[in-house]
Amino acid sequence: MNSFIEKQEEYLKNKINKCGYNVNEVTLNISSRPEFGDYQYNGAMALAKEYGKNPREIATEIVESIKLDNKYKDINIAGPGFINITFSDEELIAHINELKENINLNYENNNPKKIFMDYGGANVAKALHVGHLRSANIGEALKRLLVALGNEAIADAHLGDWGRPIGLVMLEIKKRNPELPYFDELYNGEYPKTSPVTNDDLMELYPFASNKAKEDEDYMEEARVMTAKFQDGDKGLTALWEHIMNVSKTDIKRIYDRLNTTFEVWEGESDGNKYIPEMMEYLESKNLIEDSQGAKIINVAEPEDDHEVPPLLLVKSNGSASYETTDLACIWERMKLFNPDEIWYLTDARQALHFEQVFRAAKKSKMVNEDTKLEFIPFGTMNGADGKPFKTRDGGVMTLESLLDLAKTECEKKVLPNITGEERDKVAEKVSVAAVKYADLIPYRLTDYNFDPVKFSDLQGKTGPYLLYSTIRMKSLLKKAEEAGIEYKKYTKINSDIDRQVIIGLLNLRSVLTKSMNTKSLNDITDYLYKITNLYNNFYSNNHVLTEENKELQESWLTLTSVIYENNSKLLNILGIDVPERM
């Protein structure tokens, strides 16, 4: 089954073929001039070139062949040969009734794929900070969009659990508590079951150690040794690492839960590590590894490069693995365990070169299939209200948690006064997540934006709270109708142009979803949600649904309301936004 527009395109294609023009594909575009039609077909110009004819002549032939169809209310030709199409009421009514039965019609997919996704970017033993917001929001929404469109998506949190930060934290724990058994190489007993550090400890330990290492070269060297020793599989340090992992992961998970960000797999850089030996053997067999000043590298530059692409550092001269190595090993692992069609990575643009090197090495060595797509999906930065990098008042890095709390304080003021206690907190939480996420997804993916909690939490305008409020109002209208015993099963009559605009708005969804998928940006969806909600709100204020005496009309209106409500809920869910019962 296909969406309404795809069915229309297929129908028109057959008609055009019958006119003697061979077309494989017909695209109907949303009309930029709604006064002339709902949709536009612009293919006559290309056909004119191909067949050496006047485009208007071709357009006229096409129009003649379909103008009596009951699918259309009006067909006209504009300019050199644009065909404007206005659908008939019967077609639109049938479609609304189909949607009432199955809201997923616009989401059909004939070519489902398996996509492995890597987003979030959390690092163990370090606080999630404002810079982690967009990867979580965009990654999660793209995943939900993929799944809504019938694809399979597997997301990996891919925790940073293997690098120097862990070494630094362990070193500082050792400095403060040298007596702990994890550091005693002769220790033979069992290691304690409870962690020697809490998450709060970690939040203090890492910045402390990291600052100290910047000032103190000896300390830094000790951290390097500690990191290497742990990566070499030292028993005590591994036991300590497991504690740090558990404590930190629990906290990371708690914050991702707040943001409705979920992962199918909670792996980390360390998991790729197990695959390094077999991957090395494979790369050796392909003769790709070169020695360079004691290190092992893979050359990934290409003669046609227009910028410098340095070799990928596979093994450092001190024998340890690099960030590139673990990412390459993770591709190896992902191909082996999941064999996806595509792997997507979401980090900010600064890691572009890193992924370019890794992807090239993966392709060059053929550890992925020729048609496996490896895709880097960068995003712009979120800045403070002044357009500068977001900082706390004392100039420190703002944690993601305090950012969410900031928005929550603002949103709490907007919640109805009669909602109190625990419910009030829950509602404020949901509204604030909607405010933050929606605002984060409004700009095109690569565009920077400024964080403004007051603006984002406004109940008016293009905001998450406005959409929640409007969607809840649709639901409560439906609930009141049910309580009054009013049944609504189908839409029977387009009563006014306002109704019609809402319905055409629904048709446009398909092209919005396609565009969003192509650009891998959610801005078209946030835009669409705002527009359709406004159209509906206009409909709502013009029609007194519950008191309407014409029963047929009332049933139509309620049916339309329920379709818009379902559709809004579905789109908000794709954006990772929950709708509270009331607010």
Q: Which residues bind ligand ARG (CB under 6 A)?
A: 118, 121, 123, 158, 160, 327, 345, 347
Give the integer Cα–Cα distance in Å for 354 and 388. Answer: 26
Nearer to ligand ARG, 324 or 499 (CB): 324
Which pair of structure tokens corresponds to residue 390? Answer: 């977001």
Give the integer Cα–Cα distance in Å for 221 and 184. Answer: 20
Nearer to ligand ARG, 382 or 560 (CB): 382
Min separation Cβ 134 and ligand ARG, Å = 12
Min separation Cβ 43 and ligand ARG, Å = 43
CA-atom Rg of the chain in angstroms: 29
Give the integer Cα–Cα distance in Å for 369 and 372. Answer: 5
Give the integer Cα–Cα distance in Å for 417 and 401. Answer: 25
Q: Which residues, in sequence order, are bridge partners of residue 87?
A: 72
Min separation Cβ 121 and ligand ARG, Å = 4
Min separation Cβ 449 and ligand ARG, Å = 21
Residues making up the chain, counted from first to last: 583
Give the integer Cα–Cα distance in Å for 447 and 378. Answer: 10
Min separation Cβ 160 and ligand ARG, Å = 3
Give the integer Cα–Cα distance in Å for 324 and 540. Answer: 55
Nearer to ligand ARG, 136 or 560 (CB): 136
Nearer to ligand ARG, 354 or 515 (CB): 354
Nearer to ligand ARG, 21 or 345 (CB): 345
Min separation Cβ 345 and ligand ARG, Å = 6
The residue at minimum Cβ distance from ligand ARG is 160
Nearer to ligand ARG, 136 or 315 (CB): 136
Nearer to ligand ARG, 26 or 321 (CB): 321
Residues ≥6 apart with Cβ < 8 Å to 487? 555
Closest CA to 213 of 181, 175, 157: 175
Give the integer Cα–Cα distance in Å for 415 and 406. Answer: 15
Nearer to ligand ARG, 66 or 136 (CB): 136
Closest CA to 579 of 529, 534, 528, 504: 529
Q: Which residues, in sequence order, are bridge partners of residue 343?
A: 116, 374
Min separation Cβ 370 and ligand ARG, Å = 22
Min separation Cβ 548 and ligand ARG, Å = 55
Closest CA to 492 of 419, 536, 552, 408: 552
Report whether 477 contacts 545 (CB < 8 A).
Answer: yes
Q: Which residues, in sequence order, are bridge partners of residue 295?
A: 292
| 507 φ/ψ angles, rounded to the nearest 5 degrees | -60, -35
